[in-house]
Structure 1
Amino acid sequence: MLNILTPRRAAGASVACLPAATALAAVALLAGCSMIPTYERPAAPVAAQWPALGANTVASATTAAADLPWQDFVGDARLRELVELALQNNRDLRVAVLSIEQARAQYQIRRADQLPTINAAATGNRQPATDGSGNISSAYTAGLAMASWEIDFFGRVASLKEAALAQFLATQEARSAVQTSLIASVVSTWLSLQTNEELLALTQRTLATRDDSLRLNRLRFDQGVTSALDLRQAESLTAAARSTLAQQQRLRALDVNALTLLVGQPLPERLLPTAQADGGAVALRDVPEGMPSDLLERRPDIRQAEQQLIAANANIGAARAAFFPRIALTASAGTASNALSGLFKSGSWGWTLAPQAVLPIFDAGRNQAGLDSARAGRDIAVAQYDKAIQSAFREVADALAGRATLGEQVLAQQAQATAEADRFRLADLRYRNGVASYLDVLDAQRALFATQQALAQSQLAQRQNQVALYKALGGGWRDAPASAAQN
């Protein structure tokens, strides 16, 4: 360690500081050697094409899902307003935004470690003289001090800064991923609520029809026209409809509760779907599937995983640098005196420079363990990055499979519902004319109700599949420009 204390006159202090300033500049220029391994993006562990399943290509759409603002994807004005409320009030999204601020502060701390910290310092010391005279010796100092600044010759501090920067960028991508999931969850839950409203109205109409049928059968039974078997079948069918009504009321309440949690505040009644006003489905824009390689640049969760991989790679550089000497510099400049009254008098100015170099010789394997841990961390990050890509590929493939088949399923069930409605009408007509038994009417009524329920669920699955595909392709994290949103 070098420790120099040189009292000088004020006029000579600036001259003496020039060599020190030059030395500091030279040290700063020499610093910056990086031991971070060269980063190479791992090969995507998925196929180059989506699985072929029917005609699932949307040729008319020209805007990729990730480039399509959610305001353009959602066609219903009430639903768009509800999504806006969720983006403002959802607590998960709020936590993601605050995590960005925390990561930004951590990055700023690491970046500040590359520069010296200069403080104003004042000290005073009084103690008995060592010559046995009984006198009191005093020492006072005041000035500027730089405490143990590490000169980053081997890039340890720079590597930690790069890791903190990558973690900061990862939190930004995490926020985008949370927004994407939030928008998809709000839209899907709203669609589910809309379907449950429709099923609730359907069940209420069915129950009213069965109540009328039950009253008619009771009158016919009292008059001896029908048997007790017909009456009991009518009662059973009415009770089943009443049970389904209670179930639909519960499902509607659960959807409202889920939507309230997502939005983060009580739901305005005017924004909720109603079966009477919603004659058709919510308009959702179709998006092209693109190529699997597009997901690497489009999906926020994959980009987040890559930034975490970059951070793990940078930590290896910091672990490698720990094997080399760590050079620190402590310096101060100011005034010193053995009397408080003479602290700022001429001739009391001076400076102190104390460089220190520490070379690890024996650390019981600590540095090697740190390097092994950093390498294992990078391997974990690679596996997590691969898993994120594979999960994204599976989600898109599932959504494309749904798009290729759900349309045909809905068309088939619509045809079946039409046929069952006509069958019920004919069976009821034949029964009233005494041609068919009441069992035929009950069977047709049960089949019609089940088919109408299945049709509503299939239509919901088709709309929710559009939302799932939009989310899986990385849509929803970009907002529309302010001018476009106003228009």
Structure 2
Amino acid sequence: MQKHSLIAVAVALFAAGCTMAPKYHRPDEPVSATFPTGGVYETQPGATQPGAGPTGTSTAARSANGQAAADIGWRDFFVDPRMQRLIEIALKNNRDLRVSVLNMQASAAQYRIVRAGLFPTLDAAASQSKQRTPRDLSSTPMTITNTYSVGLNASWEIDFFGRIQSLKDQALAQYLATAQARKAAEILLVSQVADQYLTVLELDDLLTVTQNTLKTSQESYRIAKLQFDNGTGSELDLRQSQTVVEQANANLQAQARLRAQGENALVLLLGEPLPADLPPGLTLNDQNLLTDIPAGLPSDLLTRRPDIMEAEQNLLAANANIGAARAAFFPKVSLTGSFGTLSPSLGGLFKPGSAAWSFAPSITLPIFEGGENLANLDLANIQKKVQIATYEKAIQTAFREVADGLAARGTYDQQIQALERNTFAEQRRLDLSNLRYTNGVDSYLSVLTAQTDLYSSQQSLITARMQRLQNLVDLYQALGGGWIERAGEQPRPADAPVDYGAASAPVAASAAAAG
């Protein structure tokens, strides 16, 4: 009676799909409950952007209207039609993204392989065997015998202790982790294309400033040379004016090189050459990105950042692996059997009385494994601790990225306004220095210094504007934005079907979850 009760309990446990994996508890967040406040975080921008006028006044910009980054489509965040087209191309052709999709599909196939171990296997088999026995050893006059068989073979490992179930849970969690990795790769690609596009626009503006500076300095050099040739100017003035020309020439070549390399980097992200029919784009100062996306709470990142969700799925996989390692200490119960027909002649296979069958249950209990099972369990526990630390680090990294973005967002507007006022002042200084030099009140050195300082100020202003825009893009990504195309769309599952050119047919989450 006790034996039958134990069998009934084991069958009930198997039917319930129980495993020996430890109960999962999500680790506590190893960060503050809120993002930093005060200081550089205090002055977060509203729906405004720095103005381009001499006084550095702000102009109206588009507002996020309190929407979280994850709810804002990338076509709503970016308004430049050229940038939108480039992002669209990259999402279809980028090879890194394609690899992440294929990795997800490979992981789904691996999950199905492991899941198949829960079910019996059934094979059809047919065979013939021919044997010759020496006459002096044969009990019959026949020395050559034939045996023909045809039938079905079945085998099944009954997962009483949840070993296969734990392995299936591990494979499913690993699949879901790769799906989140694919989502993170897509979000990152959107921001990478935008950042690189903004870098190219910055270099265009720097080239324009350098070309204007070169043109002005060449005219000054021409006048200084004419005066030197006529004996009314000094060689010192001539050489001072020449330094500006040569410096601008050198900068022009360096910036042209960086511009070409920046476009090459953009082409790599796109996965194809730049199309000739791209729509016209906006200037760097007209990008008008959303500036007031709310940061929310750090706990929001757990459901908005795919890299954090990927780390948690890897932790769940490690947790399930402990169940498989524990189950290895317990017996394995297997059932094998066959049913068919057996006959000494091919024609007699299906005659009455030719039926044959076999049934062979087996149980294997580990007794001595040289410490292998214990070592596997220790390894599984250590791997779980590694994944806990990795998950906590993912949260800390996300917190740091958002905090850095908020610190930058709280300071760039004031920095750019100061640079705009400085550039206006440097321009007036150059104009006045030129006037004083022309009237013989001051030396050419003051003109040279003012011209050099204006050029440096203009470059600093352009770079700061680009960095401000890139920070807004990166903060949008850090808060989980870039997964949906337009606001109001239902977010796709992380393993949603996609069409990425050569990428093969995807596998939906529902197929994986069915097991």
Task: Please indicate, yes or no, whether the TM-score normalized by the shorter chain is above 0.5.
Answer: yes
Identify the residue that residue 435 of structure 1 maps to in structure 2.
Answer: 441
Identify the residue that residue 118 of structure 1 maps to in structure 2.
Answer: 122
Specify the SS of the correspondent of 2:126: strand
Letter of the aligned partner of 1:205 in structure 2?
N
1:328–1:356 contact (8 Å) kept in structure 2: yes
Aligned with residue 305 of structure 1, among 311, 323, 326 = 311
Letter of the aligned partner of 2:65 in structure 1?
A
Extract structure 1 runs of 4+ deviating beyond 4 A. 25-31, 57-60, 481-484
**Are positions 1:278 and 2:283 aligned together?**
yes
Kindly state the Cα deviation for residue 73 of structure 1 after the two structures are TM-superposed: 1.2
Letter of the aligned partner of 1:136 in structure 2?
I
Identify the residue that residue 144 of structure 1 maps to in structure 2.
Answer: 152
Specify the SS of the correspondent of 2:125: strand
Kindly state the Cα deviation for residue 222 of structure 1 after the two structures are TM-superposed: 1.3
Specify the SS of the correspondent of 2:285: coil
Kindly state the Cα deviation for residue 256 of structure 1 after the two structures are TM-superposed: 0.5
Give me the whole-angstrom Cα distance separating, in 2, the residues matched to 1:199 and 1:29.
Answer: 69
Matches within 5 A, 1:179-190: 179-190=186-197
Kindly state the Cα deviation for residue 270 of structure 1 after the two structures are TM-superposed: 5.2
Identify the residue that residue 135 of structure 1 maps to in structure 2.
Answer: 143
Matches within 5 A, 1:40-439: 40-52=25-37, 53-56=41-44, 61-129=65-133, 131=138, 133=140, 135-147=143-155, 149-269=156-276, 271=278, 278=283, 280-286=285-291, 287-439=293-445
Give me the whole-angstrom Cα distance separating, in 2, the residues matched to 1:115 and 1:324.
Answer: 20
Choose 193-202 or 346-355, whichever is displaced more.
Answer: 346-355
1:121–1:142 contact (8 Å) kept in structure 2: yes
Letter of the aligned partner of 2:446 in structure 1?
D
Kindly state the Cα deviation for residue 464 of structure 1 after the two structures are TM-superposed: 0.4
Give me the whole-angstrom Cα distance separating, in 2, the residues matched to 1:26 and 1:353.
Answer: 20
Give me the whole-angstrom Cα distance separating, in 1, the residues matched to 2:45 and 2:343.
Answer: 84
Specify the SS of the correspondent of 1:42: coil
What is the CA deviation profile of residues 81-117 of structure 1, one whole-angstrom value per residue up to 9, with x for unaligned ones? 1000000000000001111110111111111111111
1:424–1:445 contact (8 Å) kept in structure 2: yes
Letter of the aligned partner of 1:341 in structure 2?
G
1:336–1:348 contact (8 Å) kept in structure 2: yes
* Residues 295 and 413 of structure 1: CA distance in aligned 2, closer, same or farther (over 3 Å): same
The percent of aligned pairs where both chains have the same amino acid is 49
RMSD after superposition: 2.2
Kindly state the Cα deviation for residue 36 of structure 1 after the two structures are TM-superposed: 1.0
TM-score by length of 1: 0.90
Give me the whole-angstrom Cα distance separating, in 2, the residues matched to 1:294 and 1:44.
Answer: 11
What is the CA deviation profile of residues 179-218 of structure 1, one whole-angstrom value per residue up to 9, with x for unaligned ones? 1111111000000100100100110111011001100000
Letter of the aligned partner of 1:91 in structure 2?
R
Q: Is there any run of 5+ residues in structure 2 with no aligned partner, and where?
A: 1-7, 48-63, 491-515
Letter of the aligned partner of 1:32 in structure 2?
G
1:31–1:153 contact (8 Å) kept in structure 2: no
Q: Is there any run of 5+ residues in structure 1 with no aligned partner, and where?
A: 1-22
* Residues 138 and 332 of structure 1: CA distance in aligned 2, closer, same or farther (over 3 Å): same
Kindly state the Cα deviation for residue 231 of structure 1 after the two structures are TM-superposed: 0.5
TM-score by length of 2: 0.85
Identify the residue that residue 458 of structure 1 maps to in structure 2.
Answer: 464
Give me the whole-angstrom Cα distance separating, in 2, the residues matched to 1:45 and 1:112.
Answer: 39
Give me the whole-angstrom Cα distance separating, in 2, the residues matched to 1:409 and 1:207.
Answer: 27
Letter of the aligned partner of 1:357 in structure 2?
I
What is the CA deviation profile of residues 385-407 of structure 1, one whole-angstrom value per residue up to 9, with x for unaligned ones? 11111111111111000001111
* Residues 355 and 74 of structure 1: CA distance in aligned 2, closer, same or farther (over 3 Å): same
What is the CA deviation profile of residues 348-373 of structure 1, one whole-angstrom value per residue up to 9, with x for unaligned ones? 22322111100000000011111111
* Residues 31 and 339 of structure 1: CA distance in aligned 2, closer, same or farther (over 3 Å): farther
Equivalenced residue count is 459
Kindly state the Cα deviation for residue 268 of structure 1 after the two structures are TM-superposed: 2.4
Specify the SS of the correspondent of 1:280: helix
Give me the whole-angstrom Cα distance separating, in 1, the residues matched to 2:280 and 2:285.
Answer: 11
Kindly state the Cα deviation for residue 33 of structure 1 after the two structures are TM-superposed: 3.0
Letter of the aligned partner of 1:336 in structure 2?
L
Give me the whole-angstrom Cα distance separating, in 2, the residues matched to 1:63 and 1:399.
Answer: 17
Letter of the aligned partner of 2:75 in structure 1?
Q
Letter of the aligned partner of 1:125 in structure 2?
S
Specify the SS of the correspondent of 2:408: helix
Kindly state the Cα deviation for residue 333 of structure 1 after the two structures are TM-superposed: 1.5
